[in-house]
Amino acid sequence: MDIQGKTIVITGAARGLGAAMAKRLAPHKPVLALVDLKVDDLAAVATACEQLGATVQRFGANVAKEADVIGLFDQIVAKCGAVHALVNNAGITRDALLIKYKDGKVESKMSLDQWQAVLDVNLTGVFLCGREAAERMIVGGVRGVIINISSISRAGNAGQTNYSAAKAGVAAMAVTWAKELARYGIRAAAIAPGFINTEMVAGMKPEAREKLTSGIPLQRMGEPDEIAQTVEFILENDYVSGRVFEIDGALRL
Ligand code: NAP
């Protein structure tokens, strides 16, 4: 796909990896439909992308709510004319051990709220956005692309029962969609990042940061732009579909 002039939807675009993806794609002069919970949070990234050459539309929506997502994609088509690509990036964590047992007693359990909050955003949100984007691509005759942001945790990470389950799910969904939607010329893929140097990580103490990076064979965290580069590659390469790209400096959990 030639990115120029194409409408590319990025969820969770206000910061972190989503913002990096928007800035990486902006010089190709796409129409960026940037989505986040609060539309005002998208102001800074929208300005930066416009300065880099993109046309930008901002949208506030909760990807976990079906009515929000249907309304979102209707608005995107109304304002941008079509949906050519979707990056399902919005995600949250609510980490906890399944069971915390110490000195002969259960101290805590992962709550149903913790489980449900992560599944709602990270799994159901991806399903809803993927479904609505695919419908509009098919109806509009667009040979589009859907990219789901998974995680290295999809292999199973202690303290992340909820997150690991959701991230395994979105990787499997990308493969499923690649098979189901190929007949319409739609491609789908997933990216499973390792530890990436986002704002959250930047605030860590040097000792904690050191401990984290020492276990990574490449001895450093990934940069947000290295994930964005993978998004750009998947969009541009028309023979890429149905695969999960592990961008993790060779780390294995
Ligand atoms: P981030 O900095 O927390 O940014 C996520 C964005 O998504 C925030 O702007 C957030 O808004 C928004 N968001 C949260 N819930 C939403 C909802 N229900 N509807 C719409 N937007 C919502 O996260 P990140 O580190 O950039 O991560 C981006 C994606 O990469 C996530 O799917 C994450 O699981 C995945 N990932 C990240 C890493 C990493 O090391 N950073 C590694 C592997 C995978 P608020 O600020 O208002 O909450």
215: CATH? 3.40.50.720
What is the rounded CA–CA span in Å between residue 199 and residue 207?
A: 17
Which structural domain range is residue 40 located in?
Answer: 7-247
The pLDDT of residue 240: 98
Confirm whether 239 is a catalytic residue: no
Q: In what order do the strands lie in the sheet with 244-247?
A: 55-60, 31-36, 7-11, 85-88, 145-149, 187-193, 244-247
Q: Which of these, 151, 144, 241, lies nearest to 184 by C-alpha position?
A: 144
The pLDDT of residue 35: 98
Residue 24 φ/ψ, nearest 5 degrees: -65, -40
State the closest ligand 1 atom to the C-alpha of 199, by its place in the atom list counted from 1. Answer: 2
Whether residue 167 lies inside any domain: the answer is yes
Dump the DSSP string for 56-92.
EEEEE--TT-HHHHHHHHHHHHHHHS---EEEE----
The pLDDT of residue 212: 86
The pLDDT of residue 202: 73
The pLDDT of residue 209: 85
Instruction: Give residue-wise pLDDT tens across range 204-218.
Output: 788 888 888 999 999
Distance 183 CA to ligand 1 centre (A): 31
Cβ neighbors of 197 (< 8 A, separation 6 or more) are: 221, 222, 223, 224
The preferred substitution site among 17, 21, 227 for testing ligand 1, maximizing ligand atoms within 8 Å of CB, is 17
Instruction: Give residue-wise pLDDT tens across range 217-234.
Output: 999 999 999 999 999 999
Residues contacting ligand 1 via CB (< 6 Å) = 11-12, 14-18, 36-38, 62-64, 89-92, 121, 125, 149, 151, 193, 195-196, 198
State the closest ligand 1 atom to the C-alpha of 152, by its place in the atom list counted from 1. Answer: 43
Whether residue 92 lies inside any domain: the answer is yes
Whether residue 99 lies inside any domain: the answer is yes
Higher pLDDT, 201 or 151: 151
Distance 89 CA to ligand 1 centre (A): 6
The pLDDT of residue 237: 98
What SS3 class is residue 17?
helix
Whether residue 110 lies inside any domain: the answer is yes
Residue nearest to atom 44 of ligand 1 (CA): 151
Separation in Å, CA 202 to CA 20, 142, 224: 15, 39, 12
What is the rounded CA–CA span in Å between residue 91 and residue 76?
A: 21
Beta bridge partners of 187: 145
Whether residue 65 lies inside any domain: the answer is yes
Question: What's the chain's Rg over C-alpha atoms?
Answer: 18
Instruction: Give residue-wise pLDDT tens across range 72-103.
Output: 999 999 999 999 999 999 999 999 999 999 99
The pLDDT of residue 207: 87
Residue 35 φ/ψ, nearest 5 degrees: -125, 135
Instruction: Give residue-wise pLDDT tens across range 33-61.
Output: 999 999 999 999 999 999 999 999 999 99
pTM, full prediction? 0.98
The pLDDT of residue 86: 99
Instruction: Give residue-wise pLDDT tens across range 136-148.
Output: 999 999 999 999 9
Q: State how many domains the chain has.
A: 1
Average pLDDT along the chain: 97
Whether residue 2 lies inside any domain: the answer is no
Tokens standing for residue 46: 């929208």
Whether residue 54 lies inside any domain: the answer is yes
Whether residue 58 lies inside any domain: the answer is yes
What is the rounded CA–CA span in Å between residue 193 and residue 249?
A: 9
Residue located via tokens 């940069």: 223
